[in-house]
Structure 1
Amino acid sequence: MMRVLIITNKDDITVDFVVKELQRKEMPYYRLNTEDIPNNVSVFFDFNNNIFEIFDKVKEERFSLLNFNSVYYRRPQLNNLNFIENINSYELNYLRSELNFILEGIYKLLENKKWLNNVYRIREAENKIYQLQIAKKVGFRIPNSLISNQYNNIVKFYEENDKNCIIKPVKSGYLPNDEGSKAIFTTKVDEENFNNPARLESFPLYLQNNTPKEFDIRVIVIGEKVFAAEIHSQKYEDSSIDWRRGIMSLEHYEHKLPIGIERKCIDLTHKLKLNFSAIDLIYTDKGEYIFLEINPNGQWAWIEKRLKFPLSREIVNLLENG
């Protein structure tokens, strides 16, 4: 029987959709909430006898990592280890580092399994510098883009783009804090930011021109299947630059991509060695499609819920059939 390993955390609602579909198909699976290691999930790696097991203490079930066929890597988290007493912060950081490398070892043990997206391909594809290069190669139009901490070149770029630019993170845009994490949204550049050259030169900025748009498009690619959703972000000021600020209140509609753009989405996904991706495009008032970025592990559950796209079904089909 097909056995699927899901690597995530307890709060990952998106995985619930996949679990429901796995249960519907009666496919054996195990959801490894990685923050349960080591207090609720123990590990047993016997190298001499080639035994690599995890034991769920709550379910009282034992799983051999070598017996899984497919892996869905989603949102792992490290245990905060607050149940361990009488250790200082340095010791705590050391233990969390060791725990992280145990997880990395698990990923290596699973390397030859069928992954929806291999964790190392995800990490590579998350770099937006690399994304833009590959997107251009497959034929996407991209915004004018600059990464620099050279003051004169930053000012020149800003002026050449009619003083209408945005700033964004090079990677995912989530900042860990005591409550979990804080999202760093794409933001319009204020001209007052240029009053402090030393600050601008202290760290590289990722700037793009702020392209006028009719609406945003979130494209979900699963294997050779493509699903596109219009997100009408321009209705409200707070979502006009970054639609994630107002996702729940924005109107969503199914969007039919031109065959050429659909093919580019598939080609980009495959050139990044991914089987799944969430691609953000904008549709301009001139009817043009502009590539913004690709998230190799992006959210999709809200789109399935709102537009009834069979995304979880297609993900499970891919996990089942490769």
Structure 2
Amino acid sequence: MGKKQIVIVSQVDEIHADEIILQLNAMGHEPIRLNSDDIPTALMASLSLENHTAGWAGSMTILTNGRRIDVEAIRSIWWWRPGAFRLPADLSVQEREFARDEIEHMFQGIWAALPCHWVSHPEHIRRASWKADQLLQATRLGFDIPRSLMTMNPDAARSFCESCVGKRALYKVLSDPFLAATTVAEKYPEHMPEYGVASTTLITSADFSMLDGVRNAPCLFQEYLPRVLDIRVTVIGDDLFAAEIHSQDHEETKIDWRYSDANIVYRKIALPAEVAERCMALVRHYNLHYCTLDLFLTPDGRYVFTEASPYGQFLFVEERVPELRMTEALANYLARGAQD
């Protein structure tokens, strides 16, 4: 069986998956989309393994559209933000947790066993998601980073903020900026989560009295550094796309530009060769084939690394800078992986 199938593992209403499928269709391919929402109620999977064979055989059929994934025919997989499984509503809490664990075990085992082209493998994505390691690897590669502290100690947090230039620091969440609302909705449907977003927050001496809350959960603090502009870097395979973001033109975007409706100017930018190579080296360190990186440029000309995201979005950048043809590049990269 020829390995020709391009599989996109995502979730319902993921617009990036929608756009890549449209692009692949326009190129003459027929990608198959597997949404985590379809597992298990809208998916029929049966896989077998025999003695002395090369690997697992069998298929997964998506019942809502009849599309079939033949595991022996998969050549490339785009792993893009899959969510929770949609389990039958009549299961008890314990039955739901057991079913979720069994589904997770089966599928993670299959993903680990598949000899296909990944963009990117879920285990590599998971490892690359830890901010503590990102910052360490970035500085080892030669990036400037802000002085950083992770702590659950209020006194250590106050001491660090006091030591920052101008006694100004930034607070950032380590995990979910949406404050686990999606997780609560998925795992505890009987509870209504509080929806909100924790943007990067400027901490000054006037806020030091509130740092006792650090005791409840680890917090990341970084020294505030002035910036000229922010930079969004997207790496797809061996290609690098960079856009400068004029965040300092608006008061509400000077600290965090990501969640604002302000009309920010975006432009294509050519990074210095050594900065571009550091970006590529960080992505390769984690064995990723897709990743975004956030940098900023200081008034004295330093390119400072803040974080990387294996799930970083790119469409909002491409909409503002159409010459950064990232949708086309990612579709081509998946298609190349699907060739014999």
The two structures share one fold, judged by TM-score above 0.5: yes
**1:157 and 2:160 correspond:** yes
Unaligned runs of 5+ in 2: 186-191
> What is the count of residue pairs matched by the alignment?
319
CA contact (8 A) 2:161 2:204 kept: no
User: Superposition pairs for residues 279-318 of structure 1, below 5 Å?
Assistant: 279-308=293-322, 309-318=324-333
Q: 1:307 to 1:198 in 2, by over 3 A?
A: closer
Q: Residue 311 of structure 2 aligns to which amino acid in structure 1?
A: N
**Post-superposition offset of 1:193:** 4.5
**Post-superposition offset of 1:169:** 1.9
**Post-superposition offset of 1:189:** 2.0
Residue 84 of structure 1 is aligned with which of 79, 82, 89? 89
**1:171 and 2:175 correspond:** yes
User: Superposition pairs for residues 60-79 of structure 1, below 5 Å?
Assistant: 60-79=66-85
User: In 1, distance between residues paired with 2:315 and 2:210?
Assistant: 42
User: In 1, distance between residues paired with 2:262 and 2:326?
Assistant: 19
Q: 1:19 to 1:61 in 2, by over 3 A?
A: closer
Q: Who is 1:258 aligned against?
A: 272
**1:59 and 2:65 correspond:** yes
- Deviation string for 1:181-231 (max 9, x for gaps)? 754321112545432665333432210011111211101111221111111
RMSD (Å) for aligned C-alpha atoms: 2.3
**1:241 and 2:246 correspond:** no
SS in structure 2 of the partner of residue 221 of structure 1: strand
Q: Who is 1:18 aligned against?
A: 20
User: Superposition pairs for residues 87-102 of structure 1, below 5 Å?
Assistant: 87-102=91-106
**Post-superposition offset of 1:33:** 0.9
TM-score calculated relative to the size of structure 2: 0.86
Q: Residue 176 of structure 1 aligns to which amino acid in structure 2?
A: A
User: In 2, distance between residues paired with 1:68 and 1:247?
Assistant: 40
User: In 1, distance between residues paired with 2:210 and 2:64?
Assistant: 56
Q: 1:101 to 1:212 in 2, by over 3 A?
A: same
User: Superposition pairs for residues 146-225 of structure 1, below 5 Å?
Assistant: 146-161=149-164, 162-174=166-178, 175-177=180-182, 178=185, 182-191=196-205, 193-195=207-209, 198-225=212-239
CA contact (8 A) 1:116 1:315 kept: no
CA contact (8 A) 1:216 1:281 kept: yes
**Post-superposition offset of 1:302:** 1.6
Instruction: Give the percent of matched residue pairs that are identical in Structure 1 and Structure 2.
Output: 27
Unaligned runs of 5+ in 1: none
Q: Residue 28 of structure 1 aligns to which amino acid in structure 2?
A: E
Q: Residue 143 of structure 1 aligns to which amino acid in structure 2?
A: P
TM-score calculated relative to the size of structure 1: 0.90
CA contact (8 A) 2:162 2:205 kept: no
Q: 1:151 to 1:78 in 2, by over 3 A?
A: closer
CA contact (8 A) 1:126 1:172 kept: no
